[in-house]
Amino acid sequence: MTTPAPGRMTAKRIAEDLRAQIKDGSLRPGDVLPTSRELAEQYGVTLKTVGAGIDVLKGEGLVIGEQGGRRRVRASRPIVWNLTKFERGQRRDSAAGDDWSTAIREAGRDPKQHVTVHLEAADAQVATWLQVPVGSEVVQRIRLRTVDGQPYQLATSSFPMNIAEGTALLEEGDVSMPGGILASIGHPQRSVRDEIGIRMPSPEESDLLQLPPGTPVAEHVRIGYGENGPVRVMVTIAPGDRHRLVYELEV
């Protein structure tokens, strides 16, 4: 621990000092911070002032709280998600896993997908993406994707009922097929359109993805088009501290 410069110590200055230690590596990802009492003695302040300083770092996403009252420097191993290659050309889907899972395994990581299936009425946004009437029935496959046991993505794929009915898209669980399910049921994607936005997560997303306070997410929308129009829209919520999004384009 460094010794802060002389002067009246405030919560802001405590946060600045600890932030600097995180930045220069004195406090490394995964390190447990000293206890509030230890910090109070070091900085010569009250426990309340220490708590306020730590709260600043929690709000910035630099520090996370754990059971037992410990505070730890946030640690994560981001994945490189190459959206140019994702689902493109000769898809890497097989009975062992889809294109996403295969890419994660190739990076030496352990992917899992927890999938639930729902029948829903298309809201205005989904209806626009899929070019179906508002309120028409769609099939939603919701995937909670984990890497090395940690939640990394929440992906919701919606399909028009006339495409999904009577197919593997209605099966619960992590179903994958060579070339992708859509291709296997006769509705391959011929082109895609991506939309990416950055925002703060909803409370439900924060809970499902186990996000520390202050963590923004990318919302990646991929609309897949077949020969006669949209066949799927997938909305993926990707925590900003766990991803690096990559596109490779010819110019």
Rounded distance between C-alpha atoms, residue 145 and residue 102, angstroms: 13
- Spatial separation of the C-alpha atoms in residues 152 and 229, rounded to whole Å: 30
pLDDT attached to residue 3: 54
Residue 14 has pLDDT above 80, yes or no: yes
pLDDT of residue 61: 75
pLDDT over 90 (residue 75): no
φ/ψ (deg, to 5) at 190: -100, -25
What pLDDT is recorded for position 6? 47
Task: Look at 41-45, 84-88, 230-234 and tell me which has the smallest mean pLDDT.
Answer: 84-88
Tell me 94's DSSP state.
B
pLDDT surpassing 60 at residue 4: no
Q: Where are the domains of the chain?
A: 11-73, 79-246
Report whether 158 contacts 130 (CB < 8 A).
yes
- The fold of the 79-246 domain, in CATH, is Chorismate lyase (3.40.1410)
pLDDT tens digits, one per residue of 167-179: 999 999 999 888 8
Write down the pLDDT at residue 74: 81
Q: Distance (Å, rounded) from C-alpha 246 to C-alpha 243? A: 9
Mean pLDDT taken over the chain: 90
Q: How far is CA 223 from CA 9, 122, 178, 234, in A?
A: 53, 15, 21, 6
pLDDT tens-digit series, residues 93-127: 776 778 899 999 989 999 999 999 999 999 999 99
Query: Span 11-73: which CATH code?
Result: 1.10.10.10
